[in-house]
Amino acid sequence: MNVLVKKFRIKSFKEKKPIIELQNLSITYGNRQIVEKLNLSIQKNEVSGLLGPNGAGKSSIYHSIIGLVKPTFGKIFIDGKDATDIPTHIRCSKFGISWVPQYGGSWADLSVYDNLMAIAEIHIKNREERLLKINNLIRKFELQNVIKLKSKFLSGGQVRKLTLAMAMVKDTKILILDEPFAALDPQSVRMIQQIIVSLQMFEKISVSISDHSSRDLLNTVDSAMVLTEGKIVAKGTPQELIKNTKAIEAYFGEGFTI
């Protein structure tokens, strides 16, 4: 995947209906308010970013989108449909949602090939189609040299490629990435950036990324928002965001550049 990061950014979208829309979303754990009356939208075929300090509510927002956490109040719309009360397994299947968590995401004692096969056996019933899909993903994500290696023996970058390939086994339309650049060396970061941009360009997938590596995230996305204490304090293109006073005060600090 030899796509440059990032040669283009989508600044406006012809389709006004977002692929994901959260309306007045509130999430509480016990007596603690994690997210408060949040309004958020992600456009189709957009790569969007979610930034914020630890405890800002980023993971809780993602968990609510995929159905792992039920909001205390508010609605979750996916592709124009109210998905608030749809169970996780039905929601992810119906709307083509794939989630790649920061930790795990693959079976440590299975080989690269067997990890892909385990997912493919769930989503693809026809054996020939299943094998074709796996072989295509192995080529696309450049996993040919490690197909027999167990996941626990892969490098950080190789694990990320494997988990992304596993997320693409099914017909994915929405890809949610939690800390995809964490603990990676610069070359591996660029490789993952190239994969994300390629998925947007060639597969027309909508991607949402949360990561503490702000520069790497902002060099990948079309737009981003800064979240603090469960509220969005700033949003815009990367260049707009790093000049935003509220974003600087809440997250970036003075002198931050990309």
As a whole-number percent, the residues of the chain with pLDDT over 90 amount to 88
What phi and psi values does residue 222 have, to the nearest 5 degrees? -85, -40
Domain edge (last residue) among 142, 168, 194: 168
Closest C-alpha to 230, from 82, 3, 69, 24: 24
Alpha-helix residue ranges (DSSP H) falling in 110-155: 112-123, 127-140
Kindly state whether residues 163 and 197 are assigned to the same domain: no
pTM score, two decimals? 0.91
Distance CA 91, CA 105 (A): 19
CATH number of 216's domain: 3.40.50.300
For residues 111 and 214, membership in a common domain is answered with no
Confidence of residue 52 (pLDDT cuts 50, 70, 90): very high
User: Is residue 176 assigned to a domain?
Assistant: yes
Q: Has residue 15 got a pLDDT over 70?
A: no
Indicate if the pLDDT at residue 3 is higher than 70. Answer: no
Across residues 215-238, what is the average pLDDT? 95
Is pLDDT above 80 for 167?
A: yes
Domain boundary among 133, 168, 203: 168
Q: What confidence tier does 102 reach under pLDDT thresholds 50, 70, 90? A: confident
Residues 49 and 81 in one domain: yes
Tell me whether residue 182 is exposed, middle or buried, using C-beta atoms within 10 angstroms of its C-beta: 0 to 12, 13 to 18, 19 or more: middle
Question: In sequence order, what are the residues at sequence separation of 6 or more whose Cβ sits closer than 8 angstroms to the Cβ of residue 77?
Answer: 18, 20, 21, 22, 23, 83
The values of phi and psi at residue 231, to 5°, are -130, 145
Compute the average pLDDT of residues 215-236. 95
Judgement on whether residues 151 and 180 belong to the same structural domain of the protein:
no
| Average pLDDT for 215-232 | 95
Whether residues 25 and 92 fall in one domain = yes
Confidence band (pLDDT; 50, 70, 90) for 8? Answer: low
Residues 27 and 126 in one domain: no
Domain assignment present for 5:
no
Do 63 and 181 reside in the same domain of the chain?
yes
Indicate whether 12 belongs to any domain.
no
| Domain limits for position 132 | 103-168
